[in-house]
């Protein structure tokens, strides 16, 4: 690859490296996006390099794997679909008070690190019900007791209660 082409792909590679670090890294999502095994391996390697602080090497791995703007768009769409599927599975599990379905839905996510038992899940469901009933303060207290920091905020459109609920733990958003 010539230097000019590499220079043009640096912003693309920077996005790819950011994507792997900003979300729960999931090779299944990359497979759904249509990446080859070589490209998936490159994302995994770039993810580890980025975690170690070597962004330049991470970019190089992405570029060398032939990951371009079209590939990244496929990854972006697959990630969006995965987040929505996960959000819906979590909502359904909470609405149905189904702990096992919840555990399956949050597997590999930061939420799995917070809700670690059936008792935690029952408190989480209670907080959800309180929030739905309008008692945001009581819901917030329960969530803080569980390990959520900050406030529960809406990530939906127009600020209505039909939006996605987001919870913040430290520097991470948890859906």
pLDDT tens, position by position, 93-148: 999 999 999 999 988 788 888 899 999 999 999 999 999 999 999 998 999 998 88
Q: Give the containing element (helix H, strand E) for 120.
A: helix 118-132
Q: What percent of the chain has pLDDT over 90?
A: 34
Q: Which residue has the higher pLDDT, 6 or 99?
A: 99
The 10 Å CB-count burial string (b at 16+, else e) for 94-132 is: beeeebeebbebbeebebeebbeeeebbebbbebbebbe
- Domain range annotation of the chain: 3-84, 96-174
Are 175 and 87 in contact by the 8 Å Cβ rule? The answer is yes
> What one-character-per-residue DSSP string does 23-57 give?
S---HHHHHHTT--HHHHHHHHHHHHHHHTT-HHH
- Residue 44 has what pLDDT? 87
Distance CA 141, CA 38 (A): 46
Quick: pLDDT tens for 35-61: 999 999 998 898 889 889 998 898 889
């Amino acid at each position: 690859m010539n230097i000019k082409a590499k220079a043009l792909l640096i912003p693309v590679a920077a996005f790819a490296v950011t994507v792997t670090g900003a979300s729960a890294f999931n090779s299944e999502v990359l497979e759904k996006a249509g990446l080859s095994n070589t490209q998936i391996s490159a994302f995994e390697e770039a993810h580890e390099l980025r975690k170690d602080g070597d962004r330049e090497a991470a970019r190089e791995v992405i570029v060398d794997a032939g990951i371009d703007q079209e590939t990244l768009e496929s990854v972006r769409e697959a990630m969006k679909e995965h987040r929505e599927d996960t959000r819906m599975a979590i909502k359904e599990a909470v609405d149905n008070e189904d702990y096992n379905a919840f555990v399956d839905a949050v597997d590999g996510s930061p939420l799995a690190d917070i809700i670690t038992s059936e008792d935690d899940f029952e408190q989480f469901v209670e907080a959800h019900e309180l929030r739905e009933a309008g008692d945001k303060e009581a819901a917030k207290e329960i969530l803080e007791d569980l390990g959520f920091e900050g406030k529960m905020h809406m990530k939906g459109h127009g600020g209505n209660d039909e939006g996605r609920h987001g919870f913040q733990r430290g520097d991470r958003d948890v859906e």
